[in-house]
Copies of this chain bind each other. A is one copy, B any other.
Amino acid sequence: MAMTISGNEKRPEPLALASAVEALAARFGNRLITSHAVREQHAHTTTWLPTQPPDAVVMAQETADIQDVVRICAKHTVPVIAFGTGTSLEGQVNAPAGGICIDLHDMNKVLAVHADDLDCVIQPGVTRKALNEHLRDQGVFFPIDPGADASLGGMASTRASGTNAVRYGTMRDNVLALKVVRGDGEIITTGTRAKKSSAGYDLTHLFVGAEGTLGIISELTIKLRGIPETIAAAACSFETVRGACQATILAIQTGIPVARIELLNAEQVRACNSYSKLTLPETPLLLLEFHGSANEVAEQSKNFKEIAGECGGGDFTWTTKPEDRTKLWQARHDAYWSVKALRPGAGVVATDVCVPISRLADCVTETEEDLKRLNLLSPIVGHVGDGNFHCSLVCDVDNADEMARGEDFMHRLVERAQAMGGTCTGEHGIGQGKQKYLKAELGDEAIDAMRALKKALDPQNIFNPGKIVPTV
């Protein structure tokens, strides 16, 4: 059983597709791949959405390759889908109407690092870990960490964020400028390296989060930060989710510049203890990270500890030792695997809602009650400084009844978040899976506007059709 998607995109004419593939083969030789395995791999999804492979994959090596693929696809009106690492979560790399996938893996060059300006210029296939490896010697780093070692082009396209967005923002806040290949193969430059600008419509932020539906990102200029002098990690257990959320609100409101503040509910702590061989108290837990000078970090920790005490927090442990920090955060990063291990062979799907922080405790608590009522297994982790949390829903994909309860749960979760003034997706994007929630969230007028923008910048509807806004 698979989750339902609209799936009413029209495939290209068979002759047009054949002509496009022929032209691509002539241009790219063995960098055009049509084998079943490679096509399937390029539409792999990490949800329950069905895999919809493209008709062929082109391994791009430089911007001119992207331009030529787009020109050939435009000539024959064939879809073109950008692929980074395939770690998106809502079917963004699926090819519901077939077409050509451009794999950007080999476009992985760091083109320039401007440490004084705290920016760098990169190709879209650079992954965040490779980038930080490259930057380390220069005293700077790129802060966005969505968990997966995703490509920066993909992270920009889904407006990704993750554990330290609470301090450093999301991809929206960290992309200065883009180069984007448009439908005729020419390149749009969206901005400069200036840290701020009021020069016309904000094209940069129109392409950030557009999931490749308006053009293909061929180059990014992104912001960097100085590596903090001191990094400290802390863990603090709470009696209730509400206490943990209240401590988070107070920390944010009093301006403690936490770099990370992550909630694990009791069920998630149990899973982590089991998987990562830890002995954390099996109650709601906040994991924190502080960045700054030694004094700043000590003061931040002290201030947070006081707040935590007022909110029913206990067992506050604190460390600046890299090995202890690593152990704590490794457990957090392995949360997905700890959930997978709870019921080997079952499917795990990550949900992604975000609410105003004052409603977070209500939203998480009601969600826990709903899971109990529906008899579903789903530990919860949250980037709670932003009001964003994920349920890792475990279901046996062969159990129709459990899958139906799972789908029901996910609909109710989104409705609950939206009713609280929140969004159906904090950081995973719309892709195919969340299209059905956009109308309730923003209304018909916003969808009309999105449809008009899509038509304005991609009149042929060749760029990743069937994503974000249904076009048919």
- If the complex has contacts A165-B196, A456-B456, are A202 and B292 also in contact, measured as CB distance less than 8 A? no
On chain B, the residues within 8 Å of A225 by CB distance are 255
Chain B nearest CB, measured from A430 CB (Å): 5
On chain B, the residues within 8 Å of A159 by CB distance are 197-198, 202
On chain B, the residues within 8 Å of A115 by CB distance are 253
Complex: how many Å from CA A193 to CA B160?
18
Chain A: how many interface residues by the 8 Å CB criterion?
98
Q: Give the residue of B200, B442, B456 whose beta carbon is less than 8 angstroms from that of A438.
A: B200
Contact call A423/B194, Cβ cutoff below 8 A: yes
On chain B, the residues within 8 Å of A199 by CB distance are 423-425, 430, 434, 437-438, 441-442
Pairs A-B, 4 closest by C-beta atoms: A456-B456, A116-B358, A197-B423, A205-B205
Taking the full assembly, how many copies of this chain does it contain? 2
On chain B, the residues within 8 Å of A226 by CB distance are 252-255
Chain B nearest CB, measured from A166 CB (Å): 9
Contact call A386/B195, Cβ cutoff below 8 A: yes
Contact call A202/B195, Cβ cutoff below 8 A: no
* Residues of A near any B CB (own CB < 8 A): 114-119, 139-140, 158-161, 165, 169-170, 172-173, 182, 186-203, 205-206, 208-210, 214, 225-226, 228-229, 249, 252-255, 257, 291-293, 295-296, 299, 303, 354-358, 386-388, 417-418, 421-430, 434, 437-438, 441-443, 445-446, 448-450, 452-457, 468-469
Complex: how many Å from CA A225 to CA B425?
24
Contact call A426/B189, Cβ cutoff below 8 A: no
On chain B, the residues within 8 Å of A417 by CB distance are 194
Contact call B442/A449, Cβ cutoff below 8 A: no
- Among residues of B, the one whose C-beta sits closest to the C-beta of A255 is B226
Q: Give the residue of B161, B194, B422, B450 whose beta carbon is less than 8 angstroms from that of A422.
A: B194
Complex: how many Å from CA A357 to CA B117?
6
Contact call B468/A197, Cβ cutoff below 8 A: no
Complex: how many Å from CA A386 to CA B253?
25
Chain B nearest CB, measured from A331 CB (Å): 24
* 22 chain-A/chain-B pairs, Cβ below 8 angstroms: A117-B357, A119-B356, A139-B253, A140-B253, A159-B197, A160-B198, A165-B196, A188-B443, A188-B445, A188-B448, A189-B442, A192-B423, A194-B387, A194-B426, A195-B354, A195-B386, A200-B468, A201-B468, A203-B442, A206-B206, A226-B255, A453-B453
On chain B, the residues within 8 Å of A210 by CB distance are 201
Q: Give the residue of B118, B187, B192, B356 whose beta carbon is less than 8 angstroms from that of A441.
A: B192
Chain B nearest CB, measured from A434 CB (Å): 7
On chain B, the residues within 8 Å of A434 by CB distance are 199
Contact call B188/A427, Cβ cutoff below 8 A: no
Contact call B172/A202, Cβ cutoff below 8 A: yes
Contact call B200/A469, Cβ cutoff below 8 A: yes
On chain B, the residues within 8 Å of A448 by CB distance are 188
Contact call A388/B449, Cβ cutoff below 8 A: no
Chain B nearest CB, measured from A111 CB (Å): 13
- If the complex has contacts A115-B253, A118-B253, are A354 and B197 also in contact, measured as CB distance less than 8 A? yes
Complex: how many Å from CA A308 to CA B124?
38
Complex: how many Å from CA A214 to CA B386?
30
